[in-house]
Amino acid sequence: MLIHAHRGETDWHHLAASRQIALAEGPARWGLPVFCLTEFLRVTTHERVFRPPSTLEQATAFISGIAKAPSCEVVRPGPGFLELLAETARQANARGNLIFDAQIAALCLEHGIDTVLTNDRDFSRFKHLRVQTLD
pLDDT tens per residue across span 69-114: 999 999 999 999 999 999 999 999 999 999 999 999 999 999 999 9
Its pTM stands at 0.91
Query: Cα separation of 90 and 105, whole Å?
Result: 12
Whether the pLDDT of residue 132 is over 80: the answer is: yes
Q: What are phi and psi of 130, to 5 degrees?
A: -95, 130
Mean of per-residue pLDDT scores for the chain: 96
Residue partners of 83: CB distance under 8 A and separation at least 6: none
User: Which neighbouring-strand residues pair with 33?
Assistant: 75
Contact assessment for residue 105 and residue 90, using Cβ atoms and an 8 Å cutoff: no
Whether the pLDDT of residue 35 is over 90: the answer is: yes
The terminus-to-terminus CA distance of the chain in angstroms comes to 11
pLDDT band at 135 (very low <50, low <70, confident <90, very high): confident
Query: Cα separation of 30 and 3, whole Å?
Result: 18
